[in-house]
Amino acid sequence: MYCVFYVNKFARPKLAREAEFGGRACSGRLSEAEPCDGGTCAVDGAWSAWRIWGYCSAPCGEGVRRRTRSCDAPRPQNGGNVCQGEGKQEEGCKIKVRDIVLYLVRSVCSET
């Protein structure tokens, strides 16, 4: 974000990939412009995309998995607002014995 000729401009960075796995495509404008005082413009923070879910905390049975996102797309600057909402999510997960057996069979078979 920068001020040029008393205009505060912001351009959303190009996404590295399209929406996947039932995710929704991004919406909204790709750029914005608004008047500013010619000095340093405030930049409101915006959330990054969610990172992938971590592993289940339990090797067998019920556990918890977590994922995070950061308020750095862009980071708040010069008095801009911080991101609203949570930067962490967690959900229950359950690893079934059948899944472990299939993984082990595939691992052994791929080595021979």
54: number of Cβ within 10 Å: 13
> Residue 100 in 3-state DSSP?
helix
- pLDDT of residue 27 exceeding 90, the answer is no
| CATH code of the domain made up of 44-75+82-112 | 2.20.100.10
Q: Which pLDDT score is estimated for 19? A: 73
| Residue 106 CB contacts under 8 Å (≥ 6 apart), including other chains | none
Provide the pLDDT for residue 89: 98
Q: Name the amino acid, one letter, at 76.
A: P
Cis ω for the linkage preceding 76 (within 30 of 0): no
For the chain, give every domain's residue range: 1-41, 44-75+82-112
**What is the CB neighbour count within 10 angstroms for residue 4?**
10
Nearest-angstrom CA–CA distance, 30 and 28 = 7
Give the pLDDT score at 7: 45
Specify the pLDDT at position 85. 97
Confidence of residue 6 (pLDDT cuts 50, 70, 90): very low
